[in-house]
Amino acid sequence: MNEPVLLSAVADGAATLTLNRPEKRNVLNGALVQALKDALARAGADAAVRVVVLRGAGKDFCAGADLAELDRIQQMSFEENLADARGLGALFVALRELRKPTVAVVHGRALAGGCGLATACDVVLARSDAEFGYPEVHLGFVPAMVMAILVRKVGEGRAFELAARGQRVSADDARDMGLATHVYAVPSFEEDVARYLRDLGSRPASALSLIKGLLYELGDLGFEDGIERGARVNAEARMTQACREGVRAFLDRARGNGGS
């Protein structure tokens, strides 16, 4: 019996999606991309899920595209290649539009499409020995599908250099340029990741949803429109039960401590 290309488990409010092609360094193919999209849809509809976590089985997070897929695209027409590229793009859009935090937990290599998968997540927690990179240029290829996200995360100059030079960068360098959020030492990595996920998952789900939605909308809005959208989200947040309970508890503590 063949192993599933993606493992999914829900525990303590986190849906953990594990790329499960360790013998191939978890490289992406059509089946894995579709499995990820299906799993994200399920996680989005599951009220028990507060955070979605992406991991890789074996030695690497994800080392890019499957060689069989690369061979196949050489035989495809422009229209077929366009449809195939849009399939990967739809996965990145799904990660962006999911109104729950997505966290990539990266060890080993995150290269090409694998680096794109991590970049598309809201948070990247990297093990100190992890490597990131977009080496597509060495094949005359372009990391085009992730570019819209990459330029927002690291800026135009960094995005150009990453794509044009195709060099691998260390976890520390990835953090410094905005590709990774936090870097944790190897011995304490799992403990540090678990602590971070518990902390993030403890925040009110309604607030996390509003924060994520507003954050990514702002990239497409002018300043004044962004302020107006912020005002509307502010008002929405005030109407949630979590906000009302949080404010009430804060005021009760302040009054109990003699505050005004």
For tokens 């005021």, what's the residue?
Answer: 251
Whole-angstrom Cα distance, residue 260 to residue 255? 6
- Please, are residues 49 and 15 in contact by the beta-carbon 8 Å criterion? yes
- Phi/psi of residue 241, each to 5°? -65, -40
| 205-218 and 241-256 helices, crossing angle to 10° | 110
| Residue among 23, 69, 97, 136 flagged as catalytic | 136
Give 211's contacts (C-beta < 8 A, 6+ positions apart). Answer: none
Q: Does residue 217 carry a catalytic annotation?
A: no
Rounded to the nearest 10 degrees, how much is the dihedral formed by the CA atoms of 143, 149, 152, 158?
-20
- Residues that are catalytic: 136
